[in-house]
Amino acid sequence: MIRRPEQEDINGLIELSNKFRQEFEWAKDIPIGNIDNYSKAEQWLFGKNIYKSLIAEADGSVIGYIGVKEYKEGYEASIIVDSKYQSQGVGRKLTDRIFEEIPEEIEVEAWVADFNQKSLAITPKLGFKLKDKFKESNFIPGKEFTVYVYMRKGEVNQ
């Protein structure tokens, strides 16, 4: 089931992020892999810069999250799906549903590092188009990598 987040989802998002960080060594280097306490999870679900967010739930547990954050420069999407539910359309359902609520004049970016091979393969399948790429050397001390910037427009005609 895809739905709006509730306060009770805070612990579920922490568990989902912790599992992600345990499964992928590099997840500790990205923000969605570091939702490790109540305050951080609350910000990802209900923070003032969260434009929209949705939860995927199965058997009473949080199995997926998508959030679109508003920044000075624009909007950025973050998505995470429990590995047990990947390749089952959960990410696609979350993404399609949230973009049904975003006005078409809004462009949402998804930034994917080259070390996240799975997301590099999946992001275009979620309707994002490659917009740009650049080398990054300051985000993770001592590590240079390429960031791929994908874009998808909202679908609500206003």
Question: What is the structure's pLDDT at 25?
Answer: 85
Look at residue 139 and tell me if it is in a domain.
yes
Residue 158 predicted with pLDDT over 70: no
Look at residue 30 and tell me if it is in a domain.
yes
Domains in the chain: how many in total? 1
Look at residue 147 and tell me if it is in a domain.
yes
Question: Of 52-56, 94-98, 116-120, which range is least confident?
Answer: 116-120
Helices (H), the chain: 9-23, 38-46, 90-99, 117-122
Q: Which residue range forms the structural domain that includes residue 22? A: 2-153
User: At a CB cut-off of 8 Å and minimum separation 6, what does 22 contact?
Assistant: none
Look at residue 133 and tell me if it is in a domain.
yes
The whole-model pTM stands at 0.91
Look at residue 54 and tell me if it is in a domain.
yes
Rounded to an integer, the average pLDDT of 135-157 is 91
- The answer to whether the beta carbons of residues 77 and 108 sit under 8 Å apart is yes
pLDDT tens, residue by residue, 111-145: 999 999 999 999 999 999 999 999 998 888 888 99
- The answer to whether the beta carbons of residues 53 and 44 sit under 8 Å apart is yes
CATH code at position 136: 3.40.630.30
